[in-house]
A and B are shown apart, each in its own frame.
Chain A
Amino acid sequence: MTSLVELMDYDEVVEKYDPVLGLEVHVELHTNTKMFCGCANEFGGEPNTHTCPTCLGLPGSLPVVNAKAVESAIRIGLALNCEIAEWCRFARKNYFYPDMPKNFQTSQYDEPIAFNGWLDVTLDDGEVIRVEIERAHMEEDTGKSLHVGGATGRIHGAEHSLLDYNRAGVPLIEIVTKMIPGTGRRAPEVARAYVTALRDLLKALDVSDVRMDQGSLRCDANVSLSPKATGALGTRTETKNVNSLRSVERAVRFEMTRQAAVLESGGEVVQETRHFDESSGSTSPGRKKETAEDYRYFPEPDLVPIAPSREWVEELRGTLPELPWERRARIQKDWNLTDEVLRDLVNAGALDLIIATVEAGAKPDEARPWWVSYLAQQANTRGVELSALPITPADVARVIELVNTGALTNKLAREAVNGVLEGEGTPDEVVEKRGLKVVSDDSALEKAVDEALAAQPDVAQKIRDGKVQAAGAIVGAVMKATKGQADAARVREIVLARCS
């Protein structure tokens, strides 16, 4: 499939065209119940067990708005620097699809709850780009279709389809950016950085699980190319099924190179929905629509308008936690970090982990090396993100504490961490199970030192002659003999004492 698509060299693309981005992010709120009924809002579950007449759209059923979802929507709007509507309504978006029980989606149309905001996005090199937010509105999720028997897993060509309505009616917030022009070569990176920043923000607000792999955060990327020669706006495509931060970047980049090739060959970009394929990194057209979609929006007559009082909005503003950028500024000042160090910590995904480790009792300078060096290596080896390592900041803080009290050497501390990563339990449990103990008994150490001196008489003589730096070889031998469980500084003292 992919090989049939002509692509233009990326450098050439950005030389000839200005990409214009538009990003639509759907966030599933992790409220206890669904948007319009009392069913549990939980990921997964036996198919069709979290359902009731309302989320199944049975005849006669009616929706009732989840107040907690409205609260979350307002908090998201405030965190995105949006205006909060004084009065807004839900609207029905009408279209037929089997996984949508009512064949209309209860959404918001021209009266979103939040609008006109912005989010500052920091790129990898520290540059900050302000992304303007068009709107954030509330809606309900659809059910899920499982298409069986087709080659693509899509409805076309499937032998039959199974429907699971557990997800139907889960509260969604759709956050739509205004057009993002002028990002040039960095468009793919801007797209990823925006979704990352939004994810971190939503996580800080504690409104969603923000798991792209589980679909609780979903991104549709709109991309068009504007020829530099004319400056005319190009036709956009909307790419769906972008399920990771990396995919956001890849999908935008792919679309840029594909659209440019289409334009270069004299063709026209078709306005369409495209589907991103993770394995090939390419996009392919969605099902062709013969006619333009007309959703026949009209105000939802089963629900009353929502008119959040200004007092309530201000009360919710007061509940906003420290937001990611505020937190970064504070940490940079408190820990006296340079811009560069801070950026590296953020880019490595280590900052929040270090902060949490500090909150668990460690000092920043003790916590940082663990996360940016040893644990970063472990994450890299395992091919996972730092935050996905099976060790908590509290575990790391405990290991640091054990080192500080002299219970572990640095080497033993790494072994304790390895044990935690292997699933052997907490640091204390690993220390216990693996018998990780500093040999602090001087008589045992003296015996080991004497043995080492006896084994290397020429080195011993050099020390006695005053060549103190030669002591290192003896210390090394003792550490090896004690399997690292000795305190190297103490061993050195004993060596020097024995040779004086």
Chain B
Amino acid sequence: MTNDLIHATAAELAAKIHSGEVTSVEVTQAHLDRIAETDGKVNAFLHVDTQGALAQARRVDEAVKAGEQVSPLAGVPLALKDVMTTEGVPTTVGSKILEGWLPPYDATVTRKLKEAGVVILGKTNMDEFAMGSSTENSAYGPTHNPWDLDRIPGGSGGGSSAALAALQAPLAIGTDTGGSIRQPGAVTGTVGVKPTYGGVSRYGLVAFSSSLDQAGPCARTVLDAALLHEVIAGYDHMDSTSINAPVPPVVAAAREGLSGDLSGLRIGVVTQFSGEGYQQGVLRSFEAAVSQLKELGAEIADVSCPSFDYALPAYYLIAPSECSSNLARFDAMRYGLRVGDDGTRSTEEVMSLTREAGFGPEVKRRIMIGTYALSSGYYDAYYGSAQKVRTLITQDFAKAFENFDVLISPTTPTTAFKIGERANDPMAMYKADLCTIPANLAGTPAMSVPSGLSDEDGLPVGLQIMAPALQDHRMYRVAAAYEAARGAFGGPSL
């Protein structure tokens, strides 16, 4: 029974809970048990909210029992990335500087999940302030990839993706600034979606890079991701950058895609994302995916987006610049860590000592890069130029979408690397996001869907599907069709 419950999809669990076949409490308890059993090895969770989860599950069960209409994912458990504020529940963003902070408010995503009856199991591990591609930058120790515990689960949202792969939760929330949903999805064999920028409210998402950050759904199936997408998306007056437009019909698109017909759909293969630095197993998996999409009726051709070559350097100017400003508020004055306040030191000294002790090396590196890039005399050369590249990338996307409905590429150049392998080589680490960054810079939607396992090392590989802004449903349709054609590829044994 328990085994069935943790293997089931969110859609299946919702159906069983809503029909009264199982209770949400049973489903929730099964996942809490699974976390207790496996998280010593995986370290996906920073905080498990057993009481809160069971209380929410009981509320859903009562509503179902009373014959009330409940929302489509009511009663289904979820793992929430620790970057989203949760009222009265610890929110650390993977950093020591926020250790012990209990937010007085819920993020809009958190609120929407609660209102939809989704059961939040706890908060998942992440690279500190979402800066990283391996979850090794968490101040609370790395998360381990359930497929191979010596390997990274991707990052920054490695905790959420590992929780899905480890069957600790059927749903998770991630945030994606340069690939932090998609790259972890790829290396853990799970589905991860970065919606159109502005599609999901950022209110309560602890900012890394405001113009790039976007929350999105993570799941083991495309339909589950779509169901979750519709719960969290939509206009929010608390976020000025939120788009005041109807939520793209992603659930309908995923269901339509399951029919397996992509006749007439035009798919462009981005030529910039192959060649040197790409693992052969990843490229072969990608080619196999291309063949399968052709078999489904899609028309596939190459497309060149030359400015994508400059995406990585542009990203590493824009994101650190914004983070250097966003993270200035962590100064020991109002919340979080305070170091050195012994009555002998000045305010500046306490701020400085706290930031020295509270931030990890990668966060400090980016604050320094960003502070430099924004400084007087360098602004135009760095931040200014990066914004121009951003415009060029947006134009490349627009041109490509004149001829293609969606674009595809591998999600990340390699499968999961070993923990520690790139820890001292920031450039190698940054390259994990080579294929995912352009969509963040352009604000367009993109997702990663598993394309099976690499024939080299038996580790999961991800297929990235990119669509124009507000056309999120297009990629869901393609992903669902491909997922059905691809079939099962097994799972990790823990």
Do these two chains interact? yes
User: Taking beta carbons and an 8 Å cutoff, which residues of A are in contact with B?
Assistant: 53, 56-65, 92, 94, 96, 98, 101-104, 155, 161, 163, 294, 296-298, 301-304
- The reply to whether A61 and B333 form a contact with Cβ atoms under 8 Å apart is no
Name which of B102-110, B113-121, B449-457 contacts chain A.
B102-110
Min Cβ gap B91→A in Å is 7
- The reply to whether B211 and A103 form a contact with Cβ atoms under 8 Å apart is no
Cβ contact of A294, chosen from B202, B325, B334, B375, cutoff 8 A: B375
Min Cβ gap B148→A in Å is 34
- The reply to whether B203 and A62 form a contact with Cβ atoms under 8 Å apart is yes
- The reply to whether A61 and B383 form a contact with Cβ atoms under 8 Å apart is no
- The reply to whether A296 and B371 form a contact with Cβ atoms under 8 Å apart is yes
Nearest residue in A to B332 (C-beta to C-beta)?
A: A98
- The reply to whether A98 and B240 form a contact with Cβ atoms under 8 Å apart is no
Nearest residue in B to A103 (C-beta to C-beta)?
A: B328
- The reply to whether A62 and B376 form a contact with Cβ atoms under 8 Å apart is no
Provide the bound-state CA to CA distance between A161 and B348, in Å. 13
Provide the bound-state CA to CA distance between A60 and B206, in Å. 4
Select the residue from B85, B202, B211, B325 with max chain A CB neighbours within 10 A.
B325
Min Cβ gap B87→A in Å is 10
- The reply to whether A298 and B325 form a contact with Cβ atoms under 8 Å apart is yes
B274 surroundings in chain A (CB, below 8 A): none
- The reply to whether B205 and A96 form a contact with Cβ atoms under 8 Å apart is no
Provide the bound-state CA to CA distance between A163 and B105, in Å. 21
B272 surroundings in chain A (CB, below 8 A): none
Q: List 23 A-B contacts (CB under 8 A).
A: A53-B104, A58-B334, A58-B335, A59-B91, A59-B103, A60-B105, A60-B204, A60-B205, A60-B206, A61-B105, A61-B203, A62-B238, A62-B239, A65-B240, A92-B325, A94-B328, A102-B329, A103-B328, A161-B347, A298-B321, A298-B379, A301-B322, A304-B240
Cβ contact of A98, chosen from B107, B211, B330, B347, cutoff 8 A: B347
Min Cβ gap A72→B in Å is 19
What 5 pairs across the A-B complex have the smallest Cβ distances? A103-B328, A301-B210, A301-B211, A296-B374, A60-B204
Min Cβ gap A332→B in Å is 47
B204 surroundings in chain A (CB, below 8 A): 60-61
A101 surroundings in chain B (CB, below 8 A): 329, 334
B237 at the interface (CB under 8 A from A): yes
B303 at the interface (CB under 8 A from A): no
B84 at the interface (CB under 8 A from A): yes
- The reply to whether A96 and B351 form a contact with Cβ atoms under 8 Å apart is yes
Provide the bound-state CA to CA distance between A304 and B329, in Å. 21
Contacts A104-B328, A161-B347; is A60 near B84 (CB within 8 Å)?
A: yes
Nearest residue in A to B383 (C-beta to C-beta)?
A: A298
- The reply to whether B93 and A59 form a contact with Cβ atoms under 8 Å apart is yes
- The reply to whether A58 and B104 form a contact with Cβ atoms under 8 Å apart is yes
Cβ contact of B325, chosen from A62, A296, A303, cutoff 8 A: A296
B331 at the interface (CB under 8 A from A): yes
A303 surroundings in chain B (CB, below 8 A): 240-241
Contacts A61-B204, A96-B348, A102-B328; is A56 near B240 (CB within 8 Å)?
A: no
Min Cβ gap A299→B in Å is 9
- The reply to whether B328 and A59 form a contact with Cβ atoms under 8 Å apart is no
Nearest residue in B to A156 (C-beta to C-beta)?
A: B346
Provide the bound-state CA to CA distance between A92 and B374, in Å. 11
Contacts A96-B348, A294-B375; is A59 near B206 (CB within 8 Å)?
A: yes
Provide the bound-state CA to CA distance between A94 and B206, in Å. 18
Min Cβ gap A128→B in Å is 39
Provide the bound-state CA to CA distance between A101 and B348, in Å. 15
- The reply to whether A104 and B210 form a contact with Cβ atoms under 8 Å apart is no
Nearest residue in B to A93 (C-beta to C-beta)?
A: B325
- The reply to whether B241 and A302 form a contact with Cβ atoms under 8 Å apart is yes
14 more A-B residue pairs beyond the given contacts A58-B334, A59-B91, A304-B240, with a C-beta to C-beta distance below 8 A: A53-B104, A59-B85, A59-B93, A59-B98, A60-B107, A92-B325, A94-B324, A94-B328, A98-B331, A101-B329, A296-B374, A296-B379, A301-B210, A304-B241
- The reply to whether B103 and A60 form a contact with Cβ atoms under 8 Å apart is yes
Provide the bound-state CA to CA distance between A62 and B211, in Å. 12
Select the residue from A61, A62, A102 with max chain B CB neighbours within 10 A.
A62
**Mask of B192-209 contacts with A, CB within 8 angstroms, 1/0:** 000000000011111101
Nearest residue in B to A298 (C-beta to C-beta)?
A: B374
- The reply to whether A302 and B210 form a contact with Cβ atoms under 8 Å apart is yes
A104 surroundings in chain B (CB, below 8 A): 325, 328
Contacts A59-B98, A60-B103; is A103 near B240 (CB within 8 Å)?
A: no
**Mask of B359-403 contacts with A, CB within 8 angstroms, 1/0:** 000000000000100111001000100000000000000000000
- The reply to whether B351 and A63 form a contact with Cβ atoms under 8 Å apart is no
Min Cβ gap B90→A in Å is 12
Cβ contact of B237, chosen from A60, A64, A294, cutoff 8 A: A64
Min Cβ gap B347→A in Å is 6
Min Cβ gap A344→B in Å is 50
Provide the bound-state CA to CA distance between A101 and B328, in Å. 9
Nearest residue in B to A104 (C-beta to C-beta)?
A: B325
- The reply to whether A57 and B329 form a contact with Cβ atoms under 8 Å apart is yes
- The reply to whether A60 and B207 form a contact with Cβ atoms under 8 Å apart is yes
B351 surroundings in chain A (CB, below 8 A): 96
Nearest residue in B to A64 (C-beta to C-beta)?
A: B240
B240 surroundings in chain A (CB, below 8 A): 62-65, 302-304
Provide the bound-state CA to CA distance between A61 and B379, in Å. 26
Min Cβ gap A241→B in Å is 20
B205 surroundings in chain A (CB, below 8 A): 60
- The reply to whether A163 and B374 form a contact with Cβ atoms under 8 Å apart is no
- The reply to whether B347 and A155 form a contact with Cβ atoms under 8 Å apart is yes
Contacts A298-B379, A301-B210; is A60 near B325 (CB within 8 Å)?
A: no
Provide the bound-state CA to CA distance between A294 and B377, in Å. 10
Min Cβ gap B235→A in Å is 12
Provide the bound-state CA to CA distance between A53 and B91, in Å. 14
Min Cβ gap A10→B in Å is 38
Min Cβ gap B367→A in Å is 11
A297 surroundings in chain B (CB, below 8 A): 374, 379
Min Cβ gap A57→B in Å is 5
A301 surroundings in chain B (CB, below 8 A): 209-211, 241, 322
Provide the bound-state CA to CA distance between A94 and B325, in Å. 7
Cβ contact of B328, chosen from A96, A294, A304, cutoff 8 A: A96
B206 surroundings in chain A (CB, below 8 A): 59-60
Min Cβ gap B332→A in Å is 9
Nearest residue in B to A54 (C-beta to C-beta)?
A: B238
A92 surroundings in chain B (CB, below 8 A): 325
